A and B are shown apart, each in its own frame.
Chain A
Amino acid sequence: MRSIFLRFFNGPLFVLLVAVALAVQSSLFNSYPLWYFQPDFVLIAVIWCALRRTFTEGGILTLVFALLVETHSGAPRGLFLSIYMSIFLGIRVFSRFFVISQFASLLLVTLGAAIAWKILVLAFLAAFDLAGAQSYHFLITVLPFAGIEGLTGYWAYKALDAFDRSTTKSERSRQLIEDELLVEEGI
């Protein structure tokens, strides 16, 4: 019963965790030049959702996370919703063709997703004639961003894995819950 309760609260707690991470991200990396090295915790959470959640649950969480980002940004409405959803769907498609089971491959996906994120922002801004000199900004920020994202991902994925385990969300925990239910039902 306790396991089911914890599992139920995994989603809301995950959202709260990301909200706190966003607050830390926007204030801890407030000063110049640290600003250029701020990781995107939401991107890490979206990648986690794409690979460790069901399609529906992961998609809904991605939309919620994107809304959180839009609350903390002066970006045009819907921009981050589109970008994070594109990343989510892209990784889902990618995971159909490639096995991303190892931790190292997860980090490679993070690096790729970070670069794709920057390209998508640039593409969306260009599509709406807002790019300005963003191509220059893209060139100077894309590598530090991808690097810091991979570095943060290394610790963040471990933390998220521990979080999923503690809230009985991991595959192994899910199996244990199912076994528990089967025992309770006397099967």
Chain B
Amino acid sequence: MIKYLKEYRFYITLFLFLLIPVVALDTSSRAPRDYRFYDRVILAVTAPIQTLISWTLEQGVDLTQGYLYLWNVKQQNARLFEENRKLLGQIANLNEAQNENTRLRSILNFQEKMKLETIVARVIAKDVSTEFRAVRLNRGELAGIKKGMAVITYEGVVGRVLRVTDHTADVVTILDLLSAVDTVIERSRSRGVVEGLTDELCQLKFTLRTDDIQVGDTLLSSGLGGVFPRGVAVGSVSRVKKKQFGITQEVEVKPAVDFTKLEEVMIVLDQKAEVLEKPLPVKSEPKVEPKKKGAAA
């Protein structure tokens, strides 16, 4: 037996190298993969580095912008009084704080308006592959974040929590190929499922050809599935392509959130919260029964 094992060692190893990925391959299921023990060990090493690099970059950008601004101010101040120069200097120092305050105030206003129980987290890393569009946040289980929670900004829906560790959370954004959000069009009340398409666009699927959808229509989360609160903006229709024949129509959606400038997000802790101050009217006959995709809402 040992003789054969030694003789065919190469082929056995090759077989195992081929077998392990095939066994692990699970693309048919959209259920999020939980972190295992070894994943947590890996993240314990890499997450602090990601946080440190993100923080350093942020400080570097702030410093550079502050320096450039001050340099311009210095040029202008040559023609101004000493008092004005001091004031401009103060403005330069306060500028970044003001920007941050504006962003945080927007978040606070949104929280108050929506009556949601949320916590704010910062994006520290993106997916290592450009093919997938997940982001990592700097807060995790210890902050109360759980798998499947909705992630939003004051602009709209960002995605849902895929998996968490004590100090980090991975969020699969609505741009991701594996994302699906049940939505309703604000104007016509047509329903559909928004799925990721490219780095900038999503697609609205399972809409009937007869559904009234126009470019510029706003899409809101329907609340079905229990992940996303009802009435949060998902995006707006950017292109509609109706064929002469067929059951459905092709609809492209521009996300409400600008993912290129995503810095802070809110994680919705209370998933049962009603978002809209004006509840959505309930339709007597639903037009489409969208095919659900896995665990996504």
Chain A: residues with CB nearer than 8 A to chain B? 16, 19-20, 22-33, 35-36, 38, 40, 42, 55-56, 59, 62-63, 66-82, 85, 88-89, 121, 124-125, 128, 130-134, 136-137, 141, 145
| A-B contact number at CB 8 A | 167
In the complex the two chains form, is A26's CB within 8 Å of B127's CB?
yes
A161 to B184, CA, bound (A): 56
**Chain B residue nearest in CB terms to A56:** B13
From B21, B45, B260, contact of A16 by CB (8 A): B45
In the complex the two chains form, is B17's CB within 8 Å of A79's CB?
no
A28 to B57, CA, bound (A): 8
CB within 8 Å for A141 and B130 given contacts A74-B178, A124-B27, A130-B27: yes
Chain A contacts for B176, CB-based, 8 A? 74
B22 sits at the interface (CB 8 A): yes
Could you tell me the distance in whole angstroms from the C-beta of A179 to the nearest C-beta in chain B? 27
Grouping DSSP codes into helix (H, G, I), strand (E, B) and loop, the B interface class, with mixed when no group exceeds half, is mixed
In the complex the two chains form, is A137's CB within 8 Å of B24's CB?
no
Could you tell me the distance in whole angstroms from the C-beta of B17 to the nearest C-beta in chain A? 5
Chain B: residues with CB nearer than 8 A to chain A? 10, 13-14, 17-18, 20-30, 33, 35, 38-39, 42-43, 45-47, 49-51, 53-54, 57, 123-134, 136, 162, 170, 172, 176-178, 195-199, 201, 203, 259-261
Chain B contacts for A130, CB-based, 8 A? 27, 177-178
Could you tell me the distance in whole angstroms from the C-beta of A143 to the nearest C-beta in chain B? 13
Could you tell me the distance in whole angstroms from the C-beta of A24 to the nearest C-beta in chain B? 6
A67 to B39, CA, bound (A): 8
In the complex the two chains form, is A28's CB within 8 Å of B53's CB?
yes
